[in-house]
Structure 1
Amino acid sequence: MAALTKDRDTPMMGEGGMMFVLPHGSAVTIYRGALVVVDSTGTVKPGTTATGLKAAGRAETGTTDDAALARFRRGVFLFENSASGEAITNAHYGDDVFIVDDQTVARTNGTGTRSVAGKCRGVHASGRVWVEI
């Protein structure tokens, strides 16, 4: 699955979740529904294959405004599953899953190239993965 190019309806398991606000990263577009991370500067950016990122949650607002605050929610969200050898199954329940991009997670850290997205909380009948962030 490729990174987002528009807002995404990212389902959440259950109700609620905790809302947070941090500075928006510079020169990036965050789409509503994206898996977002906090980088080493303390700013929020879309998830990507990289190390040293901290999974923050699901973006609640989409923006390209560097001066804006990024709103995100923590909880259990439904994200896209990687393909073939990186695909997550229900056998991986409770395991760490890893960030591929702002809507996709994988079973492994890609030989040390990916940050942890959160814990696998099951695979939906559609093949997408419930991830607790």
Structure 2
Amino acid sequence: MYNTTEIANRGQVLILPVAATTKIEQGSLVALSGGYAIPAKKAASLIAVGRAETFAENQGAAGEEFVEVKRGAFLWDNDGTIKETHIMSNCYIVDDHTVTATATGSSVAGKVLMVTTEGVAVETY
């Protein structure tokens, strides 16, 4: 029998090192690039991690500042390509507040849970 330790916040809140000379706005979609947090952007090989719970500005070397990021489901702007038929499908990063159905040249933002007039509910994982 294993006595596996449960993480107190279920791993939903992460404290991540911020990339060099990088500013992350509170409430924005955060991604990892080379292990460091950056504002999400259209680029291949990024890892979407969640919503920034704090503002972070790193004016120094990578890892000198940290940002608190919450994993979960959040409402992001729709670039107009995501429809109800995309529910439970991957969507992709356009920028730090917008998602798209188009995969070309982008990274996965998460799974589409709901599409509304206000935006797209996306679960980051």
Same fold by TM-score, threshold 0.5 exceeded?
yes
- Alignment RMSD, CA only? 1.5
Please tell me whether residue 43 in structure 1 is matched to residue 36 in structure 2: yes
Give matches, 1:79-94, under 5 Å.
79-83=76-80, 87-94=81-88
Match 1:131 to one of 119, 122, 125: 122
5+ residue gaps, structure 1 = 1-15
Of 39, 52, 56, which aligns to 1:63?
Answer: 56
Aligned residue for 1:53?
46
1:121 and 1:131 in contact (8 A); partners too: yes
Could you list the runs of 4 or more consecutive aligned residues of structure 1 that deviate by over 4 angstroms after TM superposition?
none
SS of residue in 1 equivalent to 2:24: coil
Structure 2-normalised TM-score? 0.84
Q: Distance in 1 between matches of 2:117 and 2:32?
A: 30
Is the strand fraction higher in 1 or 2? Answer: 2
**Structure 2 unaligned residues grouped into runs of 5+:** 1-9
**How many residues in Structure 1 have an aligned counterpart in Structure 2?**
111
Larger Rg: 2
Q: Matched residues in 2 for 1:17 and 1:57: separation?
A: 12
